[in-house]
Amino acid sequence: MSNHHRGVEALERMMLIRAYEETLVDLHGRGRAAGTCTSVGQEAAAVGVVSALGPDDQILTNHRSAGHLLARGADPRRMLAEVTGKADGYCKGMSGSLHIAAKELGVILTSTIVGGELALATGVGLSRSMLGGDGIVTCFFGDGAACEGRFQESLNLAAVWNLPVLYVCENNQWQAFVHRKETTLADGVTAQAAALGVAAATVDGNDVEAVHAAAATAVETVRRTRRPYLLEARTYRLRGHFEPDDQSYVDPAELAHWRDRDPILLQRARLERDGLLSADEVLRMEGAVRRTMDEAVAFAEASPYPGFDQITAAVYA
Amino acid sequence: MSNHHRGVEALERMMLIRAYEETLVDLHGRGRAAGTCTSVGQEAAAVGVVSALGPDDQILTNHRSAGHLLARGADPRRMLAEVTGKADGYCKGMSGSLHIAAKELGVILTSTIVGGELALATGVGLSRSMLGGDGIVTCFFGDGAACEGRFQESLNLAAVWNLPVLYVCENNQWQAFVHRKETTLADGVTAQAAALGVAAATVDGNDVEAVHAAAATAVETVRRTRRPYLLEARTYRLRGHFEPDDQSYVDPAELAHWRDRDPILLQRARLERDGLLSADEVLRMEGAVRRTMDEAVAFAEASPYPGFDQITAAVYA
Amino acid sequence: MTSMTVNDAISAALAEEMRRDPTVLMFGEGTATKRRDLLDEFGPARVRNTPLAEGILAGTAAGAAATGLRPVVDLLFAPFLCYAMDEIVNSAGKLRAISGGQFSFPMVVMAMTGAGWGVGAQHNHNLEAWFVHAPGLKVVMPSNAADFKGLLKAAIRDDNPVLFFTDIALGYAEGEVPDGELVVPLGKAAVRREGADVTLVSYAKTVNHCLDAAGRLAEQGIEAEVVDLRTLKPLDEDTILASVRKTGRLVVVHEASRLCGVGAEIAALVSEKAFRSLRAPVLRLTGPDAPAPASYPLEQAFVPQAGAIAEAAAGLVRGA
Amino acid sequence: MTSMTVNDAISAALAEEMRRDPTVLMFGEGTATKRRDLLDEFGPARVRNTPLAEGILAGTAAGAAATGLRPVVDLLFAPFLCYAMDEIVNSAGKLRAISGGQFSFPMVVMAMTGAGWGVGAQHNHNLEAWFVHAPGLKVVMPSNAADFKGLLKAAIRDDNPVLFFTDIALGYAEGEVPDGELVVPLGKAAVRREGADVTLVSYAKTVNHCLDAAGRLAEQGIEAEVVDLRTLKPLDEDTILASVRKTGRLVVVHEASRLCGVGAEIAALVSEKAFRSLRAPVLRLTGPDAPAPASYPLEQAFVPQAGAIAEAAAGLVRGA
Ligand SMILES: Cc1ncc(C[n+]2csc(CCOP(=O)(O)OP(=O)(O)O)c2C)c(N)n1
Ligand SMILES: Cc1ncc(C[n+]2csc(CCOP(=O)(O)OP(=O)(O)O)c2C)c(N)n1
Ligand SMILES: [Mg+2]
Ligand SMILES: [Mg+2]
């Protein structure tokens, strides 16, 4: 695929994620969806990493998962149905917004327990290492999750057992209502990885092409060495923690700084600067994204609620 | 106190610890005490660190605590009474061997949950930091405990909250029946500490004078900076994990190597080489230690079992 | 009397106790951000944001409690307590007894739970029974603003570790709160409505469902007595037994799972100690043995509602 | 039939299932060291020592179970499960339902507990009721060698997470184990002794205390029926109810704490579903609401013994 094509495709995918999140915020504001953790501002990390994965690779994600799912090709209709608690959602409405898994896409075992993804990823890695194939496991987690002891435990076990896990820390500077600088003296999480024998790298998480390049190296390394690797993407949560959130606790200067580094603006500017994107193409993409989301809303609203028997239907195998 | 005096005193204290542990093994072998985790081989770490503490400093320890307690001046009579489940034990017989605390000595909150000491130490540090005084908290833990996520969590919190905690990792190469090399790729635990912003140093844990010197620096640093510090003492567990244990899983060459580095032998040789210890003095110490332990056994055996009402007596405050 | 929400009652209790006792402090993931008023009044040493790590937070609370402070730690949602079970159960709950009484652990662990927010089973799981089962802990789960205030103050003053659960659906519920010092003693249930025909025992938001059911039952000529447990441990056995000895019939209602829940304990208590008074089987209406669903209608269906309670109680009275 | 210890029965079950199914693997702190025979037969990929970190071990088991393996994880002693509650309860227990049935978690978590070793409350805490209370899990706690073997094999074959508890006092107990394939289905209690006067329900080592009590009762002319639950979840309600409907009297016995324990569940079950058959109050004999002491005589006194069981049952029969 040409770089032009990939760059534009990445932009369009990021626009879709943004539109999805904004649609959800709007639905929530109108009382038609429960609250949600949006990934606004972090689209480049999701698209950059997921686009570097192969079809057999698996993904674990967390409460802020829409970007990862949509980057992996999830159907926004089924995602919105899930978030609104409808039977056609990926989890039959049983998950809501916080733990959407889509096994058919390899997006598995999503947990909203911060650190849950880290605890489960080693097991998925163990299956990959024992059951053959060259698939790898990608585990997305936040800088907050890295404060949970499971971070250390997971990396250490993956290192000592040679598990093919790509750890992707989306360091978005926030841990719910607490700024990262209140929670640790460490600049980032790579030194901890190194201390445990896990190779690690840091990348500008708002530059989708840089993320893609770093992820491609990381994925190739994990696939070849069958050993863990940690990629830290430095990014920023542009909206609040959980909708609605007035962000009154956020330093306006910091927010403004990162708004200027909005990954969608950055990629669009790069493509325009390089003559790879026309105004018409932007319009086309905006229209396509809008139509996709309109359809998704209609689909989700038309989808029925699950029957009450669903409460106990899938508790035991 | 002269170096001579301190060196001899350290030796005598280590001999007492060794004699205590051997007495306990003997009692166990004769069915008169429950199993125990001995600190044989690790006496230098205990004595070297504890001798560097002041009277207001507090100690948290773990399942392998006899050295720390005796180094702090615990009464072997009450310790043996405790281990044999008697009413005159430090914990009225409610602890047994695995969680002896002696608040009067500042040896507090002993937990046999590996990692428990790490989780509680930050709280004790918080009290020290908020309630004034220049006391510090020393937390002894094993290399196995450092595999629990609480290790990361504890160090990180102590770092970000400026807690006066001296973490002492007794890296004895074993985690129950598993050699350390099977559990981590890391050479030691100091790199992790550094990654979290905690100053750290490593010392030969079988050289009591080296440990004392390193601990003195560490204690002084914590007392002055009111910040955490990690000291890793490299040592070796010369007996099994929990009595009885035939150590059939231990590499004989490794064991032999460390037996040659027995901290008591090393210190005795050093003192003799330096002309600071006579054969008479050794005999005197051996006799004193033996008498102390004989008295302790008699005391423990004479002590009554607690009444059944003790089961529920101290559950609630 | 002042009308206030449960959330405000909690805030008032925290502020009053921190004012009264300088050793009280509070921390949690976002505590300083969300409790700005406390931060402003008591400063950053006593009102702290924390790293995201429930285990060390609970351990820090236990260590601090044993050495002179009286920490209140907010662990946000009950399922997150799963990361802190060792510190709560093995340390705070046991180290007093294990040490022969050398330490005490005056600390409060706060967490929300319950249906009403649509966030699913990893935020909504009524785990209070676990802490009733474990030794050395106390457990509080109030139903109204006045009790939230008075019980939280009592919990902070108690010398034992207290789990203080907030049913999330009650956060914005308004209630009359007596002015001035209000301390509701731990271990005392409240009879919310008197009645001679059947006893409804409950706690947290389902107390309201029971009161609603009692209203419906009254229309059918059935007088239900409604007991609000308030404290789940220590359990107020006397109030429960007195009521059942009077009515001869018992329905226990809660949102937590049925199996080994608080309802099981109460049914067992009554079937031992009030056996001769019982005129009908003891019924439990509880959440099912299933994770709480996120989907709104299912989340509501998960919780025992007034209609079902009234029906069950009427069935007992009519001998169905 | 072959006579073997409970420990040997466990080893045999593990070896047979690993031989039968190449996706079964086992890991834990010291598993490869202590289970040298398994290591030699199945190799280091399937029999693993681990770092000391129960949380990640349980999480690894859950992640592996959901993606094609059938892990058995040994967490050593029940209180250590406190470090793994999130992975067991929030992940393995819930993610199947939360995901609308996309995953299953065929895994076994093993742990020892119970009086007999004098190691105190941080190694000895009977926590089985917690897992009965939590959704999505099964819980097994056998009383004899044959059941240890047959139930462990069934647990490994089950597609749900199963907690498998070993009462430590039973480890060296010898028992007759049928030769050949032995799979004891989960969810089926066993009537160990028949009797018409009173039902004694128990599990794990206290089953033996109940049998002992039944012997003493027989000398007094009282015929006790002894029900061994074997599986605590799913609970075999039918066997319990059938027995109580026959005898009209029930004593539930276990070592775990009384409050919200399995005994509470059984008393509640019976007082709802066999109410009309009950001729006497339902009694529970359990461990106290206290951490288990280390001191030998106190540790023994902590556990309900045959004398007390016989006395309680005789009291019920005589209408005391
Ligand atoms: C164990 C646990 N603790 C707390 C929470 C509440 N919570 C949800 S998201 C969040 C912040 C997570 O921060 P981070 O890992 O950096 O991810 P981000 O939200 O920034 O993407 C918190 C505290 C939770 N879901 N799970
Ligand atoms: C949470 C927990 N897991 C496991 C154990 C069992 N256990 C007791 S000591 C020990 C080894 C601890 O190793 P380390 O921390 O290095 O201390 P050492 O025994 O070597 O002094 C283990 C696994 C325990 N007591 N607590
Ligand atoms: Mg973050
Ligand atoms: Mg060790």
pLDDT for residue D320: 66
List of chain A residues whose C-beta atoms are within 8 Å of the C-beta of residue B192: 152, 192, 195-196
- D160 shares a domain with D241: no
**Angstrom distance (rounded) from CA C169 to CA C124:** 11
pLDDT for residue B34: 84
For chain D, list the contacting chains (3+ Cβ pairs, <8 Å): A, B, C
Which helix (H) or strand (E) element contains residue C173?
A: none
Where residue D255 sits, what CATH number does that domain have? Answer: 3.40.50.920
- D301 shares a domain with D270: yes
Structure confidence at residue A35 as a pLDDT band (50, 70, 90) = confident
C-beta separation of A127 from B126 below 8 A: no
- C277 shares a domain with C208: yes
Q: C177-201, pLDDT tens digit by residue? A: 999 999 999 999 999 999 999 999 9
Q: B100-150, pLDDT tens digit by residue? A: 999 999 999 999 999 999 999 999 999 999 999 999 999 999 999 999 999
Mutate to test the pocket of ligand 2, among D74, D76, D117 (most ligand atoms within 8 A of CB): D76
Last residue in a domain, options D144, D177, D210: D177
Residue D71 main-chain phi, psi, to 5 deg: -75, 145
CB contact under 8 A, B195 and A192: yes
Closest approach of D249 to chain B, Cα-based (Å): 29
- C121 shares a domain with C13: yes
Beta-carbon count within 10 A of B252 CB: 10
> What interhelical angle do B116-131 and B149-160 show, nearest 10?
10
Catalytic residue flag (residue D54): yes
C-beta separation of C173 from C116 below 8 A: no
pLDDT for residue B2: 62
Two tokens, residue A7: 């760059």
In a domain, C204, yes or no: yes
Q: How far is the CA of C57 from the centre of ligand 2 (A)?
A: 22
C-beta separation of C301 from C287 below 8 A: no
CA C46 to chain centre: 25
List of chain A residues whose C-beta atoms are within 8 Å of the C-beta of residue D25: 130
CB contact under 8 A, A148 and C83: yes
Q: Is A106 on the interface with D (CB under 8 A)?
A: no
C-beta separation of C118 from C299 below 8 A: yes
Last residue in a domain, options C177, C201, C223: C177
Two tokens, residue B98: 């695995």
Q: Is B157 on the interface with C (CB under 8 A)?
A: yes
- D230 shares a domain with D160: no
In a domain, C221, yes or no: yes
Pocket flag, ligand 1, residue A232 (CB < 6 Å):
no
Question: Around C204, how many Cα atoms within 13 Å sit in the side-chain half-sphere?
Answer: 28
C-beta separation of D102 from A91 below 8 A: yes
**Nearest CA owner, ligand 1 atom 17:** A142
pLDDT for residue A5: 85
Q: Is B306 on the interface with D (CB under 8 A)?
A: yes
Closest approach of B61 to chain C, Cα-based (Å): 13
Q: C292-301, pLDDT tens digit by residue? A: 999 999 999 9
DSSP state, residue C170: G
List of chain D residues whose C-beta atoms are within 8 Å of the C-beta of residue C264: 260, 264-265, 267-268
Q: Is B113 on the interface with A (CB under 8 A)?
A: no
**Residue B141 CA, closest ligand 2 atom number:** 15
C-beta separation of B140 from B68 below 8 A: yes
Q: Is B255 on the interface with D (CB under 8 A)?
A: no
Mutate to test the pocket of ligand 1, among A68, A97, A114 (most ligand atoms within 8 A of CB): A114
**Angstrom distance (rounded) from CA D75 to CA D69:** 18
- D158 shares a domain with D297: no
C-beta separation of C115 from C292 below 8 A: yes
Pocket flag, ligand 1, residue C82 (CB < 6 Å):
no
List of chain B residues whose C-beta atoms are within 8 Å of the C-beta of residue C159: 317
- D117 shares a domain with D82: yes
Q: Is D56 on the interface with B (CB under 8 A)?
A: yes
Residue A203 main-chain phi, psi, to 5 deg: -140, 155
Catalytic residue numbers of C? Answer: 54, 123
Mutate to test the pocket of ligand 2, among B42, B173, B175 (most ligand atoms within 8 A of CB): B175
- C245 shares a domain with C210: yes
Two tokens, residue D196: 């018409």
C-beta separation of C205 from C143 below 8 A: yes
Q: Over pLDDT 70: what percentage of chain C? A: 100
**Residue C83 CA, closest ligand 1 atom number:** 1
In a domain, C207, yes or no: yes
In a domain, D99, yes or no: yes
CB contact under 8 A, C58 and B93: no
Q: How far is the CA of D20 from the centre of ligand 4 (A)?
A: 36
In sequence order, which residues have a C-beta less than 8 Å from that of residue C59 and are 6 or more positions away? B116, B118, B119, B120, B122, B123, B150, B154, C84, C86, C87, C91
- D302 shares a domain with D230: yes
**Residue B113 CA, closest ligand 2 atom number:** 26
Which helix (H) or strand (E) element contains residue D224?
A: strand D224-228
**Angstrom distance (rounded) from CA D172 to CA D156:** 22
How confident is the prediction for chain B on average, in pLDDT?
A: 97
Q: Is A121 on the interface with D (CB under 8 A)?
A: yes
In a domain, C182, yes or no: no
Residue C49 main-chain phi, psi, to 5 deg: -80, 160
CB contact under 8 A, C270 and D271: yes
Task: Tell which A residues from 19 to 58 touch D, by Cβ distance under 8 Å.
Answer: 58
Structure confidence at residue C320 as a pLDDT band (50, 70, 90) = low
How confident is the prediction for chain A on average, in pLDDT?
A: 97
Which residues span the domain enclosing D59? 2-177
Find which of D36, D52, D127 to mutate to test the B interface (most B CBs within 10 Å of its CB). D52
In sequence order, which residues have a C-beta less than 8 Å from that of residue D44 and are 6 or more positions away? D32
In a domain, D103, yes or no: yes
Reduce the DSSP state of residue B258 to 3 states and report it.
helix
**Angstrom distance (rounded) from CA B106 to CA B156:** 24
For residue B244, whether the previous peptide bond is cis, meaning omega lies within 30 degrees of 0, is yes
- D164 shares a domain with D223: no
Q: State the catalytic residue, choosing from D16, D17, D29, D54.
A: D54
Q: What single letter denotes the amino acid at residue C108? A: V
Provide residues with CB under 6 Å of ligand 2.
Answer: B 37, 63-64, 112-115, 142-145, 170, 172, 174-176, 237; D 29, 52, 54, 76, 80, 83
Laid out side by side, the sheet with D190-193 consists of D190-193, D224-228, D198-202, D250-257, D283-287
Q: Scanning every residue of chain C, which has its alpha carbon at the shortest distance from the alpha carbon of A309?
A: C298
List of chain B residues whose C-beta atoms are within 8 Å of the C-beta of residue D120: 94-96, 98-99, 112
CB contact under 8 A, B186 and A192: no
pLDDT for residue B5: 85
Two tokens, residue D232: 């605590």
Last residue in a domain, options C177, C201, C221: C177
Mean pLDDT of B228-251: 97
Task: Give me the residue label for tokens 């689909």.
Answer: A299
Distances (CA, A) of A95 to A297, D63, D96: 18, 18, 10
Two tokens, residue C105: 């652990």
Q: How far is the CA of A246 from the centre of ligand 3 (A)?
A: 17
In sequence order, which residues have a C-beta less than 8 Å from that of residue C51 and are 6 or more positions away? A144, A147, A175, A178, A183, A184, B153, B156, B157, B160, C29
**Angstrom distance (rounded) from CA B236 to CA D77:** 25
| Beta-bridge mates of residue B283 | none
- C207 shares a domain with C116: no
CB contact under 8 A, A153 and D51: yes
List of chain C residues whose C-beta atoms are within 8 Å of the C-beta of residue A94: 120, 293-295, 298
Q: Is A185 on the interface with B (CB under 8 A)?
A: yes
**Angstrom distance (rounded) from CA A236 to CA A238:** 6
Of B113, B127, B149, the CB nearest to C90: B113
Structure confidence at residue B1 as a pLDDT band (50, 70, 90) = very low
Mean pLDDT of A257-286: 97
| Beta-bridge mates of residue D190 | D228
Full DSSP string of A34-74? ------TT-HHHHHHHHTTS-TT-EEE--SS-HHHHHHTT-
Where residue D52 sits, what CATH number does that domain have? Answer: 3.40.50.970
Of D122, D135, D283, the CB nearest to C90: D122
In a domain, D182, yes or no: no
Task: Tell which B residues from 117 to 156 touch A, by Cβ distance under 8 Å.
Answer: 147-153, 156
Pocket flag, ligand 1, residue A243 (CB < 6 Å):
no
- C256 shares a domain with C129: no
pLDDT for residue A34: 84
Strand ranges, E, within C13-78 = 24-28, 47-49, 70-77
Closest CA to C77 of C45, C43, C119: C119
- Walking along chain D (320 residues) 10 residues at a time, the average pLDDT comes out as 97 98 98 98 98 98 98 98 98 98 98 95 98 98 98 98 98 97 98 98 98 98 98 98 98 98 98 98 98 96 97 93
| Beta-bridge mates of residue D3 | D176
CB contact under 8 A, A183 and C52: yes
C-beta separation of D56 from A196 below 8 A: no
Q: Scanning every residue of chain D, which has its alpha carbon at the shortest distance from the alpha carbon of A100?
A: D99
Beta-carbon count within 10 A of A201 CB: 16
Find which of D98, D131, D133 to mutate to test the C interface (most C CBs within 10 Å of its CB). D133
Q: D306-320, pLDDT tens digit by residue? A: 999 999 999 999 986
How confident is the prediction for chain D on average, in pLDDT?
A: 98
**Angstrom distance (rounded) from CA A194 to CA A180:** 20
For chain B, list the contacting chains (3+ Cβ pairs, <8 Å): A, C, D
C-beta separation of D241 from D273 below 8 A: yes
Q: What's this model's pTM, rounded to 2 decimal places?
A: 0.98
Examine the pLDDT at A1 and tell me if it is beyond 50. no
Q: State the catalytic residue, choosing from D16, D29, D87, D123.
A: D123
Examine the pLDDT at C278 and tell me if it is beyond 60. yes
Of B149, B183, B197, the CB nearest to A160: B183
pLDDT for residue B45: 98
- Number of structural domains (chain C) is 2
Q: Go through the domains of chain A in sequence order and give each one's CATH number.
A: 7-292 (3.40.50.970)
In a domain, C184, yes or no: no
